[in-house]
């Protein structure tokens, strides 16, 4: 009996520390309940290309307090858009002496975004550069003085416009539209002469022989111009996101196939003949002087009809010329809910100017019959057809602020002490720039 009591006593002694520990834990104050954070921190964004990183990081101290979408929203949640985009607030503040502004800086690039985000040092007093418009202010639809630069809030606004021919000897740059107008004054060595063309070589007048070697810069739709002036410029909101799933079915309720609005029936690239061949294999409705359908050009319902009734639109240029992509593609095509079929510039040049997978180029096919077969396939497959609309909502067509960029370039040219000169601007403009057929090399027999 005593042995059993001894064993029980030993067990109590051994369990006593454990019992005391448990009692102490019960008497301790309970910790507050853990709640996970409402939102985990966002991962760091991937590194941007140099020029885009410059845009997003260039926030002045005053700008840090400006909300993007709402009060106290983190900037990392949604990067602010640059100043030249809709709702954009981000403005450049740091001068980049190595900015890629000129053709030799970035061959093959239009450099428009780089020019729009160029700025001068903030701690310098810069001179006002005078730009003479040789054809007058009215030709450009602008006001004299600094109005154009101040009103548009150009990052480089230290410029003034004039149309006074008496200032030809003191202007920093003279801008000529379509032709050269000689001034009877001596040209200073620092003065920049710029030749602007809107249309393609087939529709621009030739210069006099004495005017071929007098220009320093060109301003045209071509990407190798000093100042690229395209009909439209597409920019993604985020270069890493070039597509998203369409929010609706762009093929829904559309019962008609191909439409085309055209008035010039004698284009050099024989676009009308191509369209008529195409119509042998798929329905093509031609509106205007060259077809049997009619809809007044001023009637807004004509283009609305594309959104509601047609799946395809022939965005055929009147000339097959280098980089020549006009409103026929951007406005009639991309800015409506219809898939453009293009003819004009080379396929690679459309790819450089257009949103990704937003059109069909005729030179991707052996001929009209093969193109029609693919269009019929798209007509039968809504998923495939809608894949051409994934670009919508990923970016926008921007205002390229031509005179803002002219001002920035004139200042940058002076700072770099850059010297440029066309020995024969007409040869640059015309030689090999256009073709009367397509761009494909001729097939060997």
Write out the catalytic residue numbers: 199
DSSP string, 361-405: EGGGSSSHHHHHHHHHHHHH-HHHHHGGGTTTTSEEEEP--HHHH
Q: By the 8 A CB rule, do 357 and 391 touch?
A: yes
Which helix (H) or strand (E) covers residue 145, if one does?
A: none
**Torsion over CA: 371, 372, 377, 382 (sign):** positive
Residue 202's SS3 state is: helix
Distances (CA, A) of 259 to 336, 372, 384: 13, 13, 20
Closest CA to 395 of 346, 343, 330: 330
What CA–CA distance (Å, rounded) separates 412 from 400?
Answer: 18
Q: By the 8 A CB rule, do 224 and 103 touch?
A: yes
What CA–CA distance (Å, rounded) separates 406 from 96?
Answer: 17
Q: What residues have CB less than 8 Å from 37, skipping those under 6 apart?
A: none
Rounded to 5 degrees, what are φ and ψ at 260?
-155, 125
Which helix (H) or strand (E) covers residue 140, if one does?
A: helix 137-140
Q: By the 8 A CB rule, do 378 and 372 touch?
A: no
Q: What residues have CB less than 8 Å from 393, skipping those under 6 apart?
A: 244, 247
Burial, 82: exposed, middle or buried (Cβ in 10 Å; 0-12, 13-18, 19+)?
buried
Q: What residues have CB less than 8 Å from 197, skipping those under 6 apart?
A: 178, 204, 218, 219, 220, 221, 429
């Amino acid at each position: 009996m005593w042995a059993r009591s001894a064993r029980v006593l030993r067990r109590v002694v051994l369990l006593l520390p454990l019992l005391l520990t448990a009692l102490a834990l019960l008497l301790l104050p309970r910790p507050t309940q853990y709640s996970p954070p409402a939102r985990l921190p966002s991962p760091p964004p991937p590194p941007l290309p140099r020029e885009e990183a410059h845009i997003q990081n260039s926030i002045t101290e005053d700008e840090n307090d400006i909300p993007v979408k709402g009060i106290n929203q983190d900037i990392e949640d949604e990067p602010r858009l640059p100043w030249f985009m809709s709702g954009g607030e981000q403005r450049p503040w740091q001068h980049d002496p190595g900015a890629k502004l000129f053709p030799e800086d970035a061959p093959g690039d239009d450099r428009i975004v780089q020019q729009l985000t160029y700025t001068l040092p903030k701690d310098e007093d810069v001179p006002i550069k005078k730009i003479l418009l040789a054809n007058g202010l009215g030709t450009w639809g602008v006001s004299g003085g600094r109005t154009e630069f101040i009103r548009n809030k150009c990052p480089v606004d230290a410029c003034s416009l004039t149309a006074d021919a008496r200032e030809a000897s003191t202007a920093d740059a003279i801008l000529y539209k379509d032709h050269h107008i000689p001034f009877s004054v001596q040209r200073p060595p620092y003065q920049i002469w710029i030749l602007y063309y809107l249309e393609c070589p087939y529709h621009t007048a030739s210069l006099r022989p004495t005017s071929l070697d007098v220009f320093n810069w060109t301003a045209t739709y071509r990407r190798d111009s000093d100042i690229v002036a395209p009909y439209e410029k597409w920019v993604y909101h985020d270069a890493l996101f070039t597509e998203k799933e369409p929010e609706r079915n762009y093929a829904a309720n559309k019962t008609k196939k191909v439409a085309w609005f055209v008035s010039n029936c004698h284009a050099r690239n024989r676009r009308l003949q191509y369209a008529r061949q195409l119509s042998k294999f798929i329905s093509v409705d031609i509106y205007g002087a060259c077809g049997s359908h009619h809809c007044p050009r001023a009637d807004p319902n004509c283009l609305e009809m594309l959104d509601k009734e047609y799946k395809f639109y022939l965005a055929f240029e009147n000339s097959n010329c280098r980089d020549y992509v006009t409103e026929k593609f951007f406005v009639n095509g991309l800015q409506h809910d219809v898939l453009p079929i293009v003819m004009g510039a080379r396929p690679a040049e459309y790819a450089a100017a257009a949103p990704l997978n937003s059109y069909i180029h005729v030179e991707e096919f052996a001929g009209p019959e093969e193109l029609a077969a693919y269009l019929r396939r798209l007509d039968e497959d809504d998923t495939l057809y809608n894949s051409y609309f994934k670009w919508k909502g990923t970016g926008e067509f921007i205002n390229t602020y031509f005179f803002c960029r002219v001002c920035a370039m004139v200042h940058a040219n002076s700072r770099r002490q850059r010297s440029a000169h066309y020995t024969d601007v007409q040869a640059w403009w015309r030689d090999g720039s256009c073709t009367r057929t397509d761009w494909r090399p001729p097939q060997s027999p």
